[in-house]
Structure 1
Amino acid sequence: MSIRSRDMPGIGKKYELDTDFGDRVSVIQLESGGAQLYVSSKNGESGSAELTLSEAVRVSNVLAGPVLKAEDEGVSMVFSSLSDLPIELHSYTLGSKTAGKCIADLSIRSITGATVVAVRSSGGSILNPSPDFRFREGDSVLVIGEEEQIAAFKKRFL
């Protein structure tokens, strides 16, 4: 499943998804801050709705649900103000490759471009761990970056 996007000069940016059931969902993020939602079913029925920014955020939260509810999951986000920069946020459980090593020693950011933004360890959860934070096997990390950066992190450290 992939989402196609294209710029619509003077209007905003359009995103389209063809579902596994044969339907098409289109979302236009308007330059004015709102959104338009279109659904076309495979049997020819269609519908649309125009949403304020607040309504669009609420609908997206309902559709996504608790996205990061399990280990080794991720989400891709596109913010309307940074629509040309899709951001990946992934949760991973670390193994022996990183055990006993600190963030600075591993050079995670300089090697992959990805950033560890949170760690859950036996000692609790830490937001924005310092470069001298030392990983243990079984730690859960929250990593942010672009798709290629996340892939590089996964390949190198998992």
Structure 2
Amino acid sequence: MGTRRTPLPGVGTQFDFTTEAGRHISVVVHHDGRRFLGFYKSDDPDACVVEVPLSSEEATALAHLIDPAPIDAVRTDGIDLVTEHIQIGVRSPYIGSLLGETRARSRTGASVVAVLRRTGAHPSPAPDFRLALGDTLVAVGTREGVDALAELISEG
């Protein structure tokens, strides 16, 4: 199952994925926290059959039903911080690069607080941590910063 992330300027970010059963599901995350869940026809991946709007609270409740321990957004002093998983896919220009070579924090304002790999978790990775295909970066920052980091990691 691969996830495709598409920035929607002025709106938010769209995440599309296909289940093992071949079903296309889309989640649109708006800048204001609202979500739209879309389910598509199996024989026509562009034909949305059902669209379900969710408030930020409803999306969190649904996430807790699906995964009892998801990573939640953190609110600190009126500043919204989000935590998100960003996978290093086959198109990433940073496969085999050192984390420091991405200059992720200085370019996006978001921080990589851990790297998840099949062999285990690597908390607080140093700049000399070498990234690999399939790694999942755990990023923390503003919505805009984390979205910029995801774009940087996937496109360079």
TM-score where L is the length of structure 2: 0.53
Taking CA–CA contacts closer than 8 Å with sequence separation of 6 or more, which of the two structures ends up with the larger relative contact order?
Answer: 2
Identity %: 26
1:76 aligns with 2:76: no
Tell me which amino acid in the other structure corresponds to 1:136. Answer: A
- CA offsets 1:64-114 (integer angstroms, 9 cap, x no match): 62353xxxxx643214xx2x1100100121124221011111111111111
Indicate the residue corresponding to 2:104 in structure 1.
Answer: 108
Q: Secondary structure at the match of 1:78?
A: strand
Q: Secondary structure at the match of 1:132?
A: coil
Tell me which amino acid in the other structure corresponds to 1:150. Answer: V
- Spell out structure 1 runs of 4+ moving beyond 4 A: 1-4, 61-64
Unaligned runs of 5+ in 2: 1-29, 35-51
Change (3 A) 1:103 1:63: same
Tell me which amino acid in the other structure corresponds to 1:77. Answer: V
Distance 2:137 2:117 in 1: 9
Counting matched residue pairs gives 99
Matches within 5 A, 1:40-119: 65=64, 66-68=68-70, 75-79=72-76, 82=77, 84-96=78-90, 97=92, 98-119=94-115
TM-score where L is the length of structure 1: 0.52
Root mean square deviation of aligned Cα: 3.1
Indicate the residue corresponding to 2:147 in structure 1.
Answer: 151
